[in-house]
Amino acid sequence: MSRSVALVVGSLRKKAFSRMVANALTELTPKSLVLEHVEIGELPLYNQDLDTEKRPAEEWVAFRDRVRGMDAVLFVTPEYNRSVPGVLKNAIDVGSRPYGHSVWSGKPAAIVSNSPGMYGAFGANHHLRQSLVFLDMPAMQQPEAYLSQINKSFDEDGKLTNDQTRDLLTKFMAAFEHWVETHAAGAESARRSA
Protein backbone atom coordinates (compact mmCIF):
# COMPACT_ATOMS: atom_id res chain seq x y z
CA MET A 1 0.00 0.00 0.00
CA SER A 2 1.38 3.41 -0.92
CA ARG A 3 1.23 6.36 1.45
CA SER A 4 0.79 9.96 0.32
CA VAL A 5 3.27 12.48 1.71
CA ALA A 6 2.83 16.24 1.54
CA LEU A 7 6.21 17.70 0.55
CA VAL A 8 6.31 21.23 1.95
CA VAL A 9 9.23 23.43 0.87
CA GLY A 10 9.94 26.43 3.07
CA SER A 11 11.46 28.62 0.37
CA LEU A 12 9.81 30.45 -2.51
CA ARG A 13 12.90 31.11 -4.62
CA LYS A 14 12.77 29.26 -7.96
CA LYS A 15 16.34 27.99 -7.67
CA ALA A 16 16.24 27.52 -3.90
CA PHE A 17 18.48 24.83 -2.47
CA SER A 18 15.46 23.58 -0.51
CA ARG A 19 13.62 22.98 -3.78
CA MET A 20 16.65 21.12 -5.16
CA VAL A 21 16.73 18.97 -2.03
CA ALA A 22 12.99 18.30 -2.35
CA ASN A 23 13.43 17.21 -5.96
CA ALA A 24 16.30 14.91 -4.96
CA LEU A 25 14.18 13.41 -2.18
CA THR A 26 11.44 12.67 -4.69
CA GLU A 27 13.91 10.64 -6.75
CA LEU A 28 15.27 8.81 -3.67
CA THR A 29 11.90 7.97 -2.12
CA PRO A 30 10.98 4.31 -1.61
CA LYS A 31 8.12 3.12 -3.84
CA SER A 32 5.68 2.84 -0.93
CA LEU A 33 5.72 6.63 -0.44
CA VAL A 34 4.29 9.09 -2.95
CA LEU A 35 5.65 12.60 -2.41
CA GLU A 36 3.39 15.41 -3.59
CA HIS A 37 4.61 19.01 -3.63
CA VAL A 38 2.19 21.20 -1.68
CA GLU A 39 2.90 24.82 -2.54
CA ILE A 40 2.64 27.48 0.17
CA GLY A 41 3.62 30.70 -1.62
CA GLU A 42 0.09 31.79 -2.51
CA LEU A 43 -1.37 31.45 0.99
CA PRO A 44 -2.53 34.82 2.33
CA LEU A 45 -1.12 35.71 5.74
CA TYR A 46 -3.19 34.09 8.44
CA ASN A 47 -5.69 36.42 10.13
CA GLN A 48 -8.27 34.83 12.41
CA ASP A 49 -10.73 37.65 11.70
CA LEU A 50 -10.91 36.45 8.10
CA ASP A 51 -11.21 32.77 8.99
CA THR A 52 -14.96 32.59 9.43
CA GLU A 53 -17.12 29.65 8.45
CA LYS A 54 -18.86 31.84 5.90
CA ARG A 55 -15.80 33.20 4.15
CA PRO A 56 -12.30 31.76 4.79
CA ALA A 57 -9.78 32.50 2.05
CA GLU A 58 -10.14 30.05 -0.84
CA GLU A 59 -6.40 29.37 -0.74
CA TRP A 60 -6.65 28.39 2.93
CA VAL A 61 -9.52 25.99 2.25
CA ALA A 62 -7.72 24.36 -0.72
CA PHE A 63 -4.49 24.01 1.27
CA ARG A 64 -6.26 22.50 4.27
CA ASP A 65 -8.20 20.04 2.11
CA ARG A 66 -5.03 18.95 0.32
CA VAL A 67 -2.99 18.39 3.50
CA ARG A 68 -5.92 16.73 5.29
CA GLY A 69 -5.94 14.02 2.62
CA MET A 70 -2.26 13.16 3.10
CA ASP A 71 -0.86 10.38 5.26
CA ALA A 72 2.34 12.21 6.30
CA VAL A 73 4.31 15.43 5.86
CA LEU A 74 7.94 16.00 4.86
CA PHE A 75 9.27 19.51 5.46
CA VAL A 76 12.34 20.82 3.61
CA THR A 77 13.48 24.18 4.91
CA PRO A 78 16.28 26.69 4.85
CA GLU A 79 17.07 28.81 7.89
CA TYR A 80 16.22 32.50 8.17
CA ASN A 81 17.60 34.24 11.25
CA ARG A 82 18.00 30.94 13.18
CA SER A 83 14.39 29.95 12.52
CA VAL A 84 12.02 28.92 9.74
CA PRO A 85 11.05 31.31 6.94
CA GLY A 86 7.88 33.30 7.55
CA VAL A 87 6.11 31.65 4.61
CA LEU A 88 6.54 28.22 6.23
CA LYS A 89 5.32 29.43 9.62
CA ASN A 90 2.30 30.97 7.89
CA ALA A 91 1.47 27.63 6.23
CA ILE A 92 1.72 25.88 9.59
CA ASP A 93 -0.62 28.44 11.14
CA VAL A 94 -3.12 28.21 8.27
CA GLY A 95 -3.22 24.41 8.54
CA SER A 96 -3.65 24.48 12.30
CA ARG A 97 -6.80 26.60 12.23
CA PRO A 98 -9.63 26.96 12.98
CA TYR A 99 -8.88 25.80 16.49
CA GLY A 100 -9.73 22.16 17.01
CA HIS A 101 -9.60 21.36 13.27
CA SER A 102 -5.87 21.17 12.57
CA VAL A 103 -5.01 19.27 9.39
CA TRP A 104 -1.60 18.44 10.87
CA SER A 105 -2.79 16.46 13.89
CA GLY A 106 -1.51 12.90 14.06
CA LYS A 107 0.40 13.02 10.77
CA PRO A 108 3.91 11.53 10.96
CA ALA A 109 6.48 14.11 9.91
CA ALA A 110 10.16 14.57 9.16
CA ILE A 111 12.38 17.58 8.56
CA VAL A 112 15.31 18.11 6.22
CA SER A 113 17.00 21.45 6.82
CA ASN A 114 19.74 22.92 4.67
CA SER A 115 22.11 25.83 4.47
CA PRO A 116 25.16 26.96 2.51
CA GLY A 117 26.71 27.54 5.96
CA MET A 118 28.30 25.03 8.29
CA TYR A 119 25.36 24.42 10.66
CA GLY A 120 22.91 22.90 8.18
CA ALA A 121 20.04 25.09 9.41
CA PHE A 122 20.09 23.49 12.86
CA GLY A 123 18.07 26.37 14.36
CA ALA A 124 15.29 26.15 11.76
CA ASN A 125 15.10 22.39 12.19
CA HIS A 126 14.62 22.62 15.94
CA HIS A 127 12.22 25.57 15.85
CA LEU A 128 10.08 23.60 13.43
CA ARG A 129 10.22 20.57 15.74
CA GLN A 130 8.79 22.73 18.55
CA SER A 131 5.77 23.53 16.41
CA LEU A 132 5.32 19.89 15.40
CA VAL A 133 5.20 18.82 19.06
CA PHE A 134 2.36 21.27 19.72
CA LEU A 135 0.58 20.21 16.51
CA ASP A 136 0.58 16.56 17.66
CA MET A 137 2.72 15.45 14.73
CA PRO A 138 5.05 12.58 15.60
CA ALA A 139 8.36 13.90 14.23
CA MET A 140 11.04 11.40 13.23
CA GLN A 141 14.01 11.74 15.57
CA GLN A 142 16.68 9.70 13.77
CA PRO A 143 18.39 10.07 11.45
CA GLU A 144 18.44 13.84 11.63
CA ALA A 145 19.09 15.71 8.39
CA TYR A 146 21.02 18.96 8.65
CA LEU A 147 22.57 19.55 5.23
CA SER A 148 25.47 21.99 5.53
CA GLN A 149 27.29 23.58 2.59
CA ILE A 150 24.34 22.55 0.44
CA ASN A 151 25.57 24.78 -2.38
CA LYS A 152 28.33 22.21 -2.98
CA SER A 153 25.91 19.27 -3.40
CA PHE A 154 24.19 20.29 -6.65
CA ASP A 155 25.29 21.21 -10.15
CA GLU A 156 24.07 24.30 -12.00
CA ASP A 157 21.04 22.38 -13.28
CA GLY A 158 19.95 21.52 -9.73
CA LYS A 159 20.96 17.85 -9.92
CA LEU A 160 22.38 16.18 -6.82
CA THR A 161 26.07 15.44 -7.42
CA ASN A 162 27.38 14.79 -3.91
CA ASP A 163 27.46 11.05 -3.14
CA GLN A 164 27.67 11.60 0.61
CA THR A 165 24.52 13.74 0.55
CA ARG A 166 22.79 11.20 -1.69
CA ASP A 167 23.66 8.39 0.74
CA LEU A 168 22.39 10.39 3.74
CA LEU A 169 19.12 11.27 2.01
CA THR A 170 18.59 7.68 0.84
CA LYS A 171 18.98 6.40 4.42
CA PHE A 172 16.79 9.22 5.70
CA MET A 173 13.96 8.32 3.32
CA ALA A 174 14.20 4.61 4.18
CA ALA A 175 13.85 5.52 7.86
CA PHE A 176 10.97 7.88 7.05
CA GLU A 177 9.19 5.11 5.15
CA HIS A 178 9.31 2.98 8.31
CA TRP A 179 8.27 5.97 10.46
CA VAL A 180 5.23 6.69 8.29
CA GLU A 181 4.13 3.06 8.31
CA THR A 182 4.55 2.86 12.09
CA HIS A 183 2.40 5.96 12.66
CA ALA A 184 -0.07 5.68 9.76
CA ALA A 185 -2.96 4.49 11.94
CA GLY A 186 -2.75 7.66 14.06
CA ALA A 187 -2.81 9.83 10.95
CA GLU A 188 -5.87 8.03 9.57
CA SER A 189 -7.71 8.36 12.87
CA ALA A 190 -6.92 12.09 13.11
CA ARG A 191 -8.03 12.64 9.50
CA ARG A 192 -11.41 11.02 10.16
CA SER A 193 -12.03 13.16 13.25
CA ALA A 194 -10.95 16.49 11.67
Give residue-wise pLDDT tens across range 20-31: 999 999 999 999
173 touches 180 (CB < 8 A): no
**Which segments of the chain does DSSP mark as H helices, in order?**
17-28, 58-68, 86-96, 122-134, 163-193
Rounded Cα gap, residues 192 and 68, in angstroms: 9
Q: What is the pLDDT of residue 184?
A: 82
Rounded Cα gap, residues 194 and 191, in angstroms: 5
Quote the pTM value: 0.94
More confident residue, 192 or 81: 81
97-101, 131-135, 171-175 — which is least confidently predicted? 97-101
Confidence of residue 1 (pLDDT cuts 50, 70, 90): confident
**pLDDT tens track for 41-70:** 999 999 999 898 778 999 999 999 999 999
30 touches 43 (CB < 8 A): no
What's the chain's average pLDDT? 94
Cβ within 8 Å of residue 136, ≥6 positions away: 102, 104, 105, 106, 190
Answer yes or no: CATH 3.40.190.10 is held by domain 3-193: no
In single-letter form, the type of residue at position 96 comes to S
77 touches 124 (CB < 8 A): yes
